[in-house]
């Protein structure tokens, strides 16, 4: 699991007792999700509580961060005398520092207040793995601060079952979201309200290493179609 996290891979169930290691959004949802439209209920919550302006991961590696090799064994060497040793101030040399300190930094540009956090690396780390972990921690913390939930009719659409890890095109006038989201949770229900499926979404960039780009930006032209405020307190006639 630690290796999957650091490599931005997902470990999912295949539905028949096995595990699948995959990347995010390899398939798309069969239809666009619209509210008002084919979505019966829309909910969302947004919090900056677990988000930080800068995420720092510090760790420790071996062999000077691959900057030096193993010393050759000299069977004729004699111990160095105290007078032959070079004086120093006790601080680590550049090569020693590479072997003892690995640092990764990731910034969340949406948090404008100075609010950094420092983590210890989950396992032995060099600068590359520390940077990957910092990026993963920042992205997942941002995703956990945003919760999008839709309830739709039935368990299937066009003969296809709703499943996790699908990219869905979402147009939601209530939440003000008009972009692709990743289906991260699916719950099938049958009760007095009928047969419905609850879909939970997260931003797709939370689980990969690709640049964020415009994936957190609403699609051009979508927001202009809203003609007025949506009445979230209205009830059926």
Instruction: Convert the pLDDT of each residue in 19-75 to its tens digit.
Output: 777 777 778 999 999 999 999 999 999 999 999 999 999 988 765 555 556 667 777
103 and 40 in a single domain? The answer is no
User: Based on the domain organization, do 125 and 58 belong to the same domain?
Assistant: yes
Most confident of the ranges 14-23, 75-84, 135-144: 135-144
Pick from 22-36, 73-87, 181-195: least confident: 73-87
Do 163 and 152 share a structural domain? Answer: yes
Residue 158 CA to its chain's centroid (Å): 30
- 202 with 130, same domain: the answer is no
Per-residue pLDDT at 236: 62
Residues 170 and 138 reside in one and the same domain: no
Predicted local confidence at residue 71, as pLDDT: 66
Looking at the structure of the chain, the number of domains it has is 2
Q: Do 138 and 154 sit in the same domain of this protein?
A: no
Per-chain mean pLDDT for the chain: 82
- For the chain, count helices (H), then strands (E): 4, 14
Q: Quick one: tokens of 192?
A: 């007095």
| Of residues 6, 2, 12, 4, the one with CA closest to residue 182 | 12
pLDDT the model gives residue 18: 80
From CA 140, how far away is CA 136, in angstroms rounded? Answer: 6
Structure tokens at 11: 């470990």
Specify whether 100 is located in the same domain as 181: no
Same domain for 177 and 130 = no
Q: How many CB atoms lie within 10 A of CB 8?
A: 19
Q: Collapsing DSSP states into helix, strand and coil, what is residue 137? A: helix
Q: What is the pLDDT, as a whole number, of residue 60?
A: 81
- Residue 60 near residue 20 (C-beta atoms within 8 A): no
What CATH number should be reported for the domain holding residue 123?
A: 3.30.1920.10
CA trace torsion 159, 179, 193, 16 (10° rounding)? 50
Domain that holds residue 118: 51-66+95-144
Q: Are residues 57 and 29 in the same domain?
A: no
Other residues' Cβ atoms within 10 Å of the Cβ of residue 157 = 16
pLDDT at 115 over 80: yes
- The reported pLDDT for the residue numbered 116 is 96
Query: Over 80: is that where the pLDDT of 99 sits?
Result: no
């Amino acid at each position: 699991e630690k290796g999957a996290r650091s490599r931005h891979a997902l470990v999912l169930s295949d539905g028949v007792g096995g595990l699948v290691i995959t990347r995010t959004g390899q398939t798309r949802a069969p239809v666009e999700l619209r509210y008002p439209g084919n979505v019966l209920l829309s909910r969302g919550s947004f919090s900056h509580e677990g988000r930080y302006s800068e995420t720092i991961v510090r760790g420790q590696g071996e062999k000077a961060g691959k900057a030096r090799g193993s010393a050759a064994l000299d069977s004729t060497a004699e111990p160095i005398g105290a007078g032959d040793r070079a004086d120093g101030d006790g601080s680590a040399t550049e090569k020693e520092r590479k072997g003892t300190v690995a640092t990764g930094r990731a910034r969340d540009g949406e948090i404008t207040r100075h609010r950094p956090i420092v983590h210890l690396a989950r396992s032995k780390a060099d600068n590359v793995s520390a940077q990957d972990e910092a990026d993963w921690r920042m992205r997942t913390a941002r995703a956990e601060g945003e919760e999008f939930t839709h309830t739709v009719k039935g368990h299937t659409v066009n003969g296809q079952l709703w499943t996790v890890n699908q990219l869905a095109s979402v147009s939601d006038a209530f939440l003000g979201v008009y972009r692709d989201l990743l289906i991260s949770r699916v719950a099938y229900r049958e009760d007095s309200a009928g047969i419905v499926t609850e879909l939970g979404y997260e931003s797709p960039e939370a689980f990969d290493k690709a640049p964020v780009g415009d994936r957190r930006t609403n699609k051009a032209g979508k927001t202009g179609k809203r003609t007025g405020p949506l009445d979230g307190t209205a009830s059926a006639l």
